[in-house]
Chains A and B, each alone.
Chain A
Amino acid sequence: MRPLLLAPALALALGASPALAATIEVTIDKLVFSPANVQAKVGDTIEWTNKDVLAHTATVKGGWDVMIPAKSTGKVTLKAAGAVDYFCRFHPNMKGHVEVAP
């Protein structure tokens, strides 16, 4: 009987597949996203760590818009596959690129 009781919990865990979703770290230092290009999968999270004393954003035209306050972090969970360019709304010379695999 025991394994049967465990089964739903196991199924739930697999369904959410937390082990498969990764967090990709991007650092912002002196107005530069690094790495500027990252590869991810749908369900992965990108987390930006901002070392600057300035607030930045990671913004996709017609897509996500993440606020990254000064000396803080911001994140987005990727929901759609495809390659996107992102930039900072406050400093549009800051650019990054994400390739999201299905």
Chain B
Amino acid sequence: MFMRSSTAALAALFFASTAPLAQAAEKPTDPQIAHIAYTADTIDIEAAKLAIKKSKNKEVVDFAKDMERDHEAVNKQALDLVKKLKVTPEDNDTSKALAKAAKEERAKLAKLKGADFDKAYIENEVAYHKQVNGALETLLIPSASNAELKSLLETGLKIFQGHEQHAEHVAGMLK
């Protein structure tokens, strides 16, 4: 029963936090896109750090380490690119909404323990990667004007899609 309500809460959060991305009618600029991408990566690194600290499940900890390693590598690449392009990432409403939703999610996860934590973390990882994939496909990639930034985002999409499948696989093992 507890599981169910926790999943429902996650689903509600997922839809609530998708809204700012879906409704951003105005095309974000490259400096804003760079900021959104960096924020999205950082959120997943922070969630991974929490899981590495809290989880006792080897599959979950291994998955979290994979997330931390990949997203740190991607962020480094993103930072190298903005430096090269002389673009200064610019904070914006989408980044703020993402960061706020992530903070709430982390607070929720922090209260859970053991198998409840593992399940909630992995389910959120599936939902979160799905959400970011949607944003990349429908908003960020089409809006990017610099070709190198666009290419980085396209690779980012493949990484996030891979992580989503990886998370689904781990979620299947927890059942």
Chain A contact residues, CB within 8 Å of chain B: 30-31, 53-55, 70, 88-94
Contact = CB atoms under 8 A, between A and B. Distances in A.
Interface residues of B, number: 17
Given A54-B70, A55-B69, A93-B161, A30 B155 contact: yes
Contacts of A89: 166
Contacts of B162: 31, 88, 90-94
Contacts of B76: 53
B46 to A, nearest CB: 19
B66 interface: yes
Contact of A54 (B73, B165, B166, B169): B73
Contacts of B169: 92
A53 B161 contact: no
B77 interface: yes
A31 B74 CA distance: 13
A72 B163 CA distance: 21
Nearest to B63: A90
A70 B89 CA distance: 26
A94 B166 CA distance: 11
